[in-house]
Structure 1
Amino acid sequence: MRNDIPVRIIEKHGEHQIGSRGFGIQVCLYLLSLDVKRNLCLPQPRTYELFQILGILGDVSKHDTPIPTFRAYKPGTNEVAKEWTLYLDRKSWPDRPFVRTLTIYPAIENQQLTALKTNGRCLQQETLVRIFAAQLERHGVKVELSTGLVDLEQKEDRVIATTAIFQDSLLTGNTELIECQYLVGADGAKGATRKLLNLSFAGENRDADGAVWGDVEIDGLDNGWWHAYGRPGEWSMIMRPNQIGQGNLFDVGITGQNFDPVDFGKPEAAEKFIREHTSWPKLAFGKWHWLLYHKPNMRMVETFRAVRVFGIGNASHVHSYSGGQGVNSGIMDAANLAWKLALVMKSLADSSLLDSLNHERIPVISQMLAATTQLYTHLISHLKPKESADVAADAEDDTRSGWMRWRNDALGFFGVNCRYSDIVLDEHTRTPLDQDDALARSYVGYEGTRTLRAGDRAPGASGLILGSKETTLFELFSTHRHTLLIFAPRGWQDYARQFRDAAQHYPQGVVQTFVVTRESGTPHEKAIVLEDRDGSAHSSCLVGEDEAVTAVVRPDLFVGALVEDVEGLHICFGKTLKT
């Protein structure tokens, strides 16, 4: 593994599945158990940045698909009432390379190509976990399927986990004791980890609501659109083509508020409901690949850490299926924990560093839960039926959240930050930090303020010249090393040499160093120089051309420090490494 740390990964079920699972696997990808859902996930642009440094961006891009444009219909007809996109248009900036609003032409109507706008990507959750698992196998680690956690005991220096072999989710009686330094539970809301730790799971159930989700083959349904039907204040039904403009496989969701579609958890009942409430004359249903009933919950634990055991993803927080935040937030949990756990297990950091998982992630998750719960109210249309002119007028107001129309800039995760964290250091920003304000904005961040502080997302930059090749910052950032970006002005050699020499005193493999300069043709025998030819890195990091600043980027792609001298660098690493 990348950090030379031995791991074992267990999965209760006999095949790879993902609700919150997969995040435990991702922890192990960084270091180089499980509520079953087979739902769609909507990876946010921020998550694609993590995919890149994990080395799986190419695999993900082979399987993800554009989010289709929504179409709603007038009751009892196939006449289109309105069309809209799930998210607002997103602009791609040099520091945000994976933001894409594209125009595609998958649909043909009246012999003419129909232009559709898509501003996000879809990916099946079980596909994502298979990609994670395949990457692990490339590093010599194989997930142990049909093996689940049934008990655990914590000692002062280790965890004793009892695992068992399962067959069709039933215990077989074959058990094994595993002793490990730490245990990471990514086994979902129904998994064993949280229950064995007796952690509370505060929040709410929506007992009067429910949903069924499934994948089914349907002939006679246009595969160029995300179809939406509903009865205001009661239920909605959406049908998304698995591949826009290709095939007949659709993701189907029937959600209710004060309407529980529990009876539609069987194919025959679901098909009958779909036929009754759509006006497609020749629908023909084929194979149901899966069909599940779900009742919405919005809950979280009071701590992600219980001494030597951690819960991440849905093992520690569950939310509604609105906003597309579940998989993304679980991945960020894993990224936050993994590099810290690696340092502790290699005896390079004190175990108290692991407490920062709670400090940095709980404020974010609690605010994200509030945001997605608010969006949940828009899964069902609450508008009274209107004449077509009124419907069109409502569709024009694309800035407000509405029925499957999510208008919240925080959903892209660009604003998520930990400015308030005890382990980040900012000696460059002159404006004092308001700690209470920072905590209150841990999820939404400071979008539009044109600021960058320690604790913020590390921005991207393109057009950098490394040797004779062009590269980007996200191609250079590392899952297992802190990255020093030494922004050096003209005549930078002495300034850069101080930081480079200081970095050599840190444990081997902890730090990688790059000198970022606007000057061309200034190689140095001991420095890796990035020529910022177009000023992209200086601009995205808000560093003036004549400023001398060093940014420390953590393995989870957050800015750990902004310092101006070597003393600041030592203070920064003194917050994480043993002295």
Structure 2
Amino acid sequence: MTDGVARNEDVLIAGAGPTGLTLAVELARRGAGVRIVDAAPVPHRESRGKGLQPRTLEVLEDVGITERALAAGTTRLPFRKYFDGAHVNDTDPFADARPTPDAPYERGLLIGQWQVEKLLRERLAEFGIDVESGTEVTGFEQDEDGVTAFLADGGRIRAGYLVGCDGGRSRVRKAMGVRFDGTTDETQSMVVGDVEAEGISRDVWHQWFASDGAGVMLCPMPGTNSFQFQSGPELGADGEPLPPSLESFQRIFDRYAGVPGVTLTDPTWLSVWRVNVRMADRLRVGRVLLAGDAAHIHPIAGGLGMNTGIQDAYNLGWKLALATAGLADPGLLDTYEEERLPVAAWTLGISTELYARVREAVREPGTGVEAAAPPPMGTGYRWSSLARGSLADPATASDPATVGDPDVLRPGDRAPDAPCLDASGDPVRLFQVYADPRFTLLGFGAEVAGAVGKLGAEYEGLVQAFAIDGGDLRDHEGHAHRAYGVSDPALVLVRPDNHVALLTRDPDEVTEYLSRIVLITPKE
């Protein structure tokens, strides 16, 4: 039981799923004091959301776990479709995808959600922080100086900020009085779970569909003996869905797969999923914020929920770290909602459309779930007030669906990767450079090299500065110049969450930009 004595923390995170854990790591590596609690008594071992998109892999590289995730999951799993019992085809929709200098991850990663959480907990432990299991935040009070969170066991925790990452039924969100607008369709549901199945290949994602529009899917989960089972529910004599069980899973499998001798065993997760499309109307009320499923819940298609939550945390982490350190203008936290709420709305629309496309695809003999592959996520925030200046015409986008010309880099965009050489002549990628938790200033051309050094010295604790081809980094193959669309001279300021903050030729604009965000007086 948590003691009843309030203890001061910079940030209290309620919920230790992928969103809460990512946020905790982001805060910890930036020096903020973090406490993370979770209502569950022990970590789960359920596959749940089972895919990481390429942009999420970039985010998790910065967080420090992508290499471990790639070792635990797989990026190559063909789809095998059957229709009315007959094998139709094997396809890999990403067979021709290749990494590029500016985008090192060309395809997503299949990995169980519990494995992602395990890797994030291990990363968090490297900062000396463990999840406090069996500890649920039930409510809070906030004042000018902080938040007092109330726990189910009667304890209290005092923190500067509280972030609700406690899922679709978030008690933090309810205590905030935030609306959770949307719909729940009780007529559309599916059963999902983790089971073992001897006698069937683990080299493909099996998708059995029938002309009546129903079917079953078995996806082998890497690093385990389990398959994730997905199907419409079995109906009882009254026409109502039956609760999920191993027996009902077996009957569904036998009906649609028609593979003799395969017995499903060892269920470790049995669940019902219903179509929920909901989004909070606000992400911040004073010192309390929402992220992940607590802020938005999605149809299952495309696996966008876990990815969106991780990217929420990545956006919020650096801003909260500056706020708790007393270095940020208070308005900086408002940009979290400004940037992520439109993304949540866009993602809800896309995932709803994908779910409809999946339901149509299963009726077509020549197509499969790959026909509903999601569009790329995390391309940027061109509409944000933090996106300033351009070397070309300003962007006109106001939401994620109208981003303007995607081939011209704009402020707010995801910062591209590029291979370079460091001052010693050793290979280094820009993503490795950006792993530093500060802003990064890149100066292209000898004309701005002096200004780059001066700005780096003036904002030493906030900005790391590199003169490209000026001694710090060498763009030996020209990939950085091409990716950033610049010619000498140019200055590129990259945010701590690896989005382009500013494109300019004027060093004074860098100073002006930083002065709007942070409460730091440059060193003389």
Distance 2:19 2:240 in 1: 24
Determine whether 1:439 maps to 2:439: no
Q: Which residue of 1 aligns with 2:100?
A: 93
- The residue that corresponds to 2:274 in the other structure is 295
The residue number in structure 1 matching 2:79 is 70
Shift of 1:189: 0.6
- Equivalent-residue separation in structure 1 for 2:240 and 2:216 (angstroms): 11
Q: 1:432 to 1:139 in 2, by over 3 A?
A: closer
Alignment of 1:24-423 (within 5 A): 24-32=23-31, 33=37, 38-75=47-84, 77=85, 79-85=86-92, 89-99=96-106, 119-164=107-152, 174-232=153-211, 234-243=213-222, 248-255=225-232, 262-381=241-360, 391=365, 394-395=366-367, 403-408=369-374, 411-413=375-377, 416-423=379-386
Give the share of equivalent positions with the same residue, in percent.
Answer: 27
Q: Deviation string for 1:79-138 (max 9, x for gaps)? A: 311333355843321100111xxxxxxxxxxxxxxxxxxx43211111111111111111
In structure 2, C-alpha distance between the alignment counterparts of 1:404 and 1:197, rounded to whole Å: 39
- Using the TM superposition, name which of 120-129 and 21-30 deviates more: 21-30
1-structure distance, mates of 2:359, 2:120: 34
User: Who is 1:450 aligned against?
Assistant: 407
Contact kept in structure 1, 2:320 and 2:333, CA below 8 Å:
yes
Deviation, 1:296, is 1.8
What per-residue deviation string (whole Å, max 9, x for no partner) do you get for residues 183-236 of structure 1? 111111112111111211111112101111111111121222111122456433
- Compute the displacement of 1:569 (Å): 0.6
| d(CA) in 2 for partners of 1:554, 1:207 | 42
- For the 8 Å contact 1:30–1:335, the answer to whether it is kept is no
Structure 2 unaligned regions, length at least 5 = 1-7, 32-36
For these two proteins, the number of residue pairs brought into alignment is: 501
Q: Secondary structure at the match of 1:426?
A: coil
Counterpart of 1:419 in 2: which secondary structure?
coil
| Distance 1:291-1:553 versus aligned 2 partners, 3 A rule | same
Write the letter of the residue equivalent to 1:91.
Answer: R
1:504 aligns with 2:457: yes
Amino acid at match of 1:439: S
Partner of 1:550: 491
Separation of aligned partners in 2, 1:201 and 1:578? 35
Give the Å deviation of 1:574. 2.2
Deviations for 1:416-453, whole angstroms, at most 9, x for unmatched residues? Answer: 32112112211422x1332xxx123x257456x42001
In structure 2, the CA distance between the partners of 1:88 and 1:373, relative to structure 1 (3 Å rule), is farther
CA contact (8 A) 1:209 1:256 kept: no
Q: What's the CA shift for 1:412?
A: 2.2
Q: 1:328 to 1:558 in 2, by over 3 A?
A: same
In structure 1, C-alpha distance between the alignment counterparts of 2:247 and 2:234, rounded to whole Å: 22
1:536 to 450, 462, 479: 479
Contact 2:389/2:503 (CA < 8 Å) preserved in 1?
yes
Instruction: State the alpha-carbon separation in 1 of the partners of residues 194 and 144 from structure 2.
Output: 47
Match of 1:571 in 2: 512
Of the structure 1 ranges 264-273 and 146-155, higher mean CA displacement relative to structure 2 is found in 264-273
SS of equivalent residue, structure 2 residue 513: helix
Amino acid at match of 1:25: A
1:382 shift after superposition: 5.8
For the 8 Å contact 1:217–1:250, the answer to whether it is kept is yes
Hey, what does 1:514 align to over in structure 2? 466
Q: Is the 8 A contact 2:448 2:490 kept in 1?
A: no
Q: Name the TM-score, length of structure 2 as normaliser.
A: 0.89
- TM-score when normalising by structure 1: 0.81
Whether contact under 8 Å (2:246, 2:264) holds in the other structure is no
Deviates more, 1:276-285 or 1:310-319: 276-285
- 3-state SS of 1:147 partner: coil
Cα RMSD of the aligned pairs, angstroms, is 2.7
- Paired amino acid for 1:320: P
Q: Give the 3-state SS of the residue equivalent to 1:455 in structure 2.
A: coil
Q: Which amino acid aligns with 1:267?
A: L
Displacement of 1:142 in angstroms is 1.3
Alpha-carbon distance, 1:175 to partner: 2.1
Change (3 A) 1:62 1:11: farther
Once residues 345 and 247 of structure 1 are traced to their aligned partners in structure 2, the CA distance between those partners, rounded to angstroms, is 40
Worse overlay, 368-377 or 461-470: 461-470
Check conservation: 2:19, 2:292, Cα contact below 8 A: yes
Offset of residue 312 of structure 1: 0.3
**Using the alignment, how far apart are the partners of 2:10 and 2:212 within structure 1?**
49
Change (3 A) 1:314 1:384: closer
Question: Partner letter of residue 480 of structure 1?
Answer: P
Query: Is the Cα–Cα contact under 8 Å of residues 420 and 439 in structure 1 kept in the other structure?
Result: yes
Q: 1:381–1:403: 8 Å Cα contact kept in structure 2?
A: no
Q: Which runs of 5+ in 1 are unaligned?
A: 100-118, 165-173, 386-390, 396-401, 524-528
Query: Is contact 2:195-2:265 (8 Å) kept?
Result: yes
Contact 1:264 1:270 in 2 (8 A): no
Which residue does the alignment assign to 2:3?
A: none
| Residues 14 and 162 in structure 2, CA contact (< 8 A), matched pair in contact too | no
Task: Tell me by how many angstroms 1:42 deviates.
Answer: 1.1
For the residue of structure 2 that corresponds to 1:178, the secondary structure is strand
Residues 451 and 542 in structure 1, CA contact (< 8 A), matched pair in contact too: yes
Query: What is the CA distance between 1:22 and its match in structure 2?
Result: 3.1
- In the alignment, residue 509 of structure 1 is paired with which amino acid? G
**Which 10-residue stretch deviates more, 66-75 or 190-199?**
66-75
1:459 aligns with 2:438: no
- In 2, Cα distance between the equivalents of 1:26 and 1:576? 23
Give the conservation status (yes or no) of the 8 Å contact 2:140–2:150: yes
Contact 1:551 1:562 in 2 (8 A): yes
**Do 1:21 and 1:186's aligned partners in 2 also have CA atoms closer than 8 Å?**
yes
Whole-angstrom distance in 2 between the partners of 1:270 and 1:479: 48
Q: Are residues 446 and 327 of structure 1, via their aligned partners in 2, closer, same or farther at CA, if it must alter by over 3 Å?
A: farther
Q: Partner amino acid for 2:481? A: H
SS of 1:66's equivalent in the other structure is coil
